[in-house]
Amino acid sequence: MPTPRPGRARPATGAAEPIPSDRRLIWCVAATQMVGWGTLFTPFALLLGPMEDALALPRAAVAGAFTLGLLVSGIVAVPVGRLVDRHGGRGPIAWGGLAGAALLLAWSQVDGLAGLYCVWFGLGLVHALALWGPAMALMMAAARQPVRSITALTFITGFTGTVFVPLVAWLVEAFGWRGALVALAVLQALPVPLALWGLPRTRVGVQSAVAVALGPVLRKPAFIGLAVCLAAHAFIGVGLGAHLLLLLRERGIAEGWVLTLVALHGPFQVAARALLYALGNRVRVLQVGVFAAALLPVGLAWLALGGADPWLLLGFVLCWAMADGLMTIVRAAAPAELLGRDGYGAITGALSATAVLPRALAPSLLALLWQWGGGYGLVAPLLALVGVVALAAFLVAARDQRLPAPT
């Protein structure tokens, strides 16, 4: 898969230092991201019940802390992106990771709603600093084959839930939710030295040390189309994550099949990334984006029409998981392909910010639709329509692709 065309000059660096091999870079970034997502994001759902009981608080109030973190991470995504453009991703990943470890310790000591919300305000900042955005900026800047390296990275990090969901569940059972958070804080601190000494200072693009004006970029059809596509995809992904189990159970599907269909999302997602890695330079990121965006409404229409036959619904899971797995890579690589590498951090931060509200509101809006419709009958058709919007938006973005720079 070719390197994104705009802004192809070799990355600028904050200091003279060798660019690490892609393999070393992939494993260093993967360690920070797998542990970061596994300790800072994954545990909340598993800790929700124990916290609710221990703090004697309503579930909705406790869950609001997580929503606050999502909103904060989106609000600060653009300034964090500018920071990454100027100074590279190593510092934010390392020091944000260390702050995350400290906040996990603080979380283990909260005794009320105010303390929990303060911790999650801070964790929202940490999510923006230490997780996806800065990591992708670093990969785009330092990797010799950025898209292929990002594909390999997402293949590895695709196993985060497989590792951390049972680990967190065991920690809660063995040590209680407070003890589990202390253990997770220790784990979160482990990759910090690796980030400091194993990652380069590389910035993205040749003009990244100077702030890139976002206004003209935000008005481009390529940005608008990409933003709408990613926001729609986020709405679908979070909404399905919250309601798919209940939707399948409502259709009367056997519980074993329900759990199997939901669990297959992860393996199918990883398989799609592995296939993309194997294809290498034979496909371009925009081709992958069109394919993934087209798979999404097909899969959701399959869900709407599949009824209660679990064998038919395997087709839905395959389409949804492949689209989800591939769109993760497109989200990282398409901005550079469509809009150039200069200001990559700020641009991807703006894209992240546009997806915050859809992610935060999707579970509640689908719950309201379920209540209004007396069941989940309208949910799958609505999501299929949102998928069509995502496909149309990505096609608009792809048509606005920048012409190659003259050589």
Whether residue 206 is predicted with pLDDT greater than 80 in this model: the reply is no
Cα–Cα distance, 211 to 219 (Å, whole number): 17
Q: What does the pLDDT average to over 176-188?
A: 96
Percent of the chain at pLDDT exceeding 90: 38
Q: Mark whether 252 and 303 lie in a shared domain.
A: yes
Residue 155: inside a domain: yes
Q: What does the pLDDT average to over 365-371?
A: 87
Identity of the amino acid at 365: L
CA angle, 36 then 335 then 404, to 5°: 145
Q: How confident is the model at residue 365 (pLDDT cuts 50, 70, 90)?
A: confident
For residue range 78-123, list pLDDT tens digits in order: 888 888 878 888 889 999 999 999 999 999 999 999 999 999 999 9
Q: What does the pLDDT average to over 369-378?
A: 89
Q: Mark whether 190 and 275 lie in a shared domain.
A: no
Q: What does the pLDDT average to over 350-372?
A: 87
More confident call, 284 vs 202: 284
Instruction: Please say which residue of 173, 198, 223 terminates a domain.
Output: 198
Can you say whether the dihedral through the CA atoms of 55, 102, 30, 236 is positive or negative?
Answer: positive
Q: Mark whether 170 and 293 lie in a shared domain.
A: no
Whether residue 9 is predicted with pLDDT greater than 80 in this model: the reply is no
Cα–Cα distance, 288 to 293 (Å, whole number): 8
Check residue 301 and give its pLDDT.
95
Cβ burial of 114 (10 Å; 0-12, 13-18, 19+) is: exposed
Whether residue 200 is predicted with pLDDT greater than 90 in this model: the reply is no
Q: How confident is the model at residue 34 (pLDDT cuts 50, 70, 90)?
A: very high
For residue range 36-73, list pLDDT tens digits in order: 999 998 888 889 889 988 999 887 788 888 889 988 98
What's phi and psi for 307, nearest 5 deg? 60, -140
Cα–Cα distance, 140 to 245 (Å, whole number): 36
Percent of the chain that is helix, strand, coil (3-state, to 5): 80, 0, 20
Inter-residue contact 35 to 131 (CB < 8 Å): no
Q: Mark whether 131 and 253 lie in a shared domain.
A: no
Residue 57: inside a domain: yes
More confident call, 299 vs 20: 299
Q: Mark whether 219 and 194 lie in a shared domain.
A: no
Global pTM reads 0.77
Q: Mark whether 228 and 189 lie in a shared domain.
A: no
In 3D, which of 323, 255, 258, 320 has the Cα closest to residue 289? 323
Radius of gyration of the chain, Cα coordinates, nearest whole angstrom: 21
Cβ burial of 225 (10 Å; 0-12, 13-18, 19+) is: buried
Q: Mark whether 169 and 34 lie in a shared domain.
A: yes
For residue range 286-309, list pLDDT tens digits in order: 999 999 999 999 999 999 998 888
Residue 9: inside a domain: no
For residue range 159-169, list pLDDT tens digits in order: 888 788 889 98
Residue 4: inside a domain: no
Check residue 10 and give its pLDDT.
43
Place of tokens 């709405």: 235
Cα–Cα distance, 180 to 64 (Å, whole number): 21
Identity of the amino acid at 331: R
Instruction: Please say which residue of 144, 168, 198 terminates a domain.
Output: 198
Q: Mark whether 169 and 236 lie in a shared domain.
A: no
Cα–Cα distance, 349 to 76 (Å, whole number): 8
Whether residue 154 is predicted with pLDDT greater than 70 in this model: the reply is yes
Q: Mark whether 188 and 233 lie in a shared domain.
A: no
Q: How confident is the model at residue 202 (pLDDT cuts 50, 70, 90)?
A: low
Check residue 107 and give its pLDDT.
97
Q: How confident is the model at residue 24 (pLDDT cuts 50, 70, 90)?
A: confident
For the chain, the domain total comes to: 2
More confident call, 245 vs 391: 391
Cα–Cα distance, 365 to 350 (Å, whole number): 23
Start-to-end CA span in the chain (Å): 20
Check residue 356 and give its pLDDT.
86
More confident call, 218 vs 252: 252
CA angle, 190 then 40 then 271, to 5°: 90
Residue 190: inside a domain: yes
Q: Mark whether 136 and 74 lie in a shared domain.
A: yes
Give the structural domain span for 190: 22-198
Q: Mark whether 359 and 248 lie in a shared domain.
A: yes
Q: Mark whether 149 and 235 lie in a shared domain.
A: no
Whether residue 134 is predicted with pLDDT greater than 90 in this model: the reply is no
Instruction: Please say which residue of 172, 198, 224 terminates a domain.
Output: 198
Q: What is the 3-state secondary structure (H, E, C) of 176-213?
A: HHHHHHHHHHHHHHCHHHHHHHHCCCCCCCCCCCCCCC
Domain containing residue 274: CATH number: 1.20.1250.20
Residue 17: inside a domain: no
Q: How confident is the model at residue 318 (pLDDT cuts 50, 70, 90)?
A: very high
Check residue 61 and give its pLDDT.
85
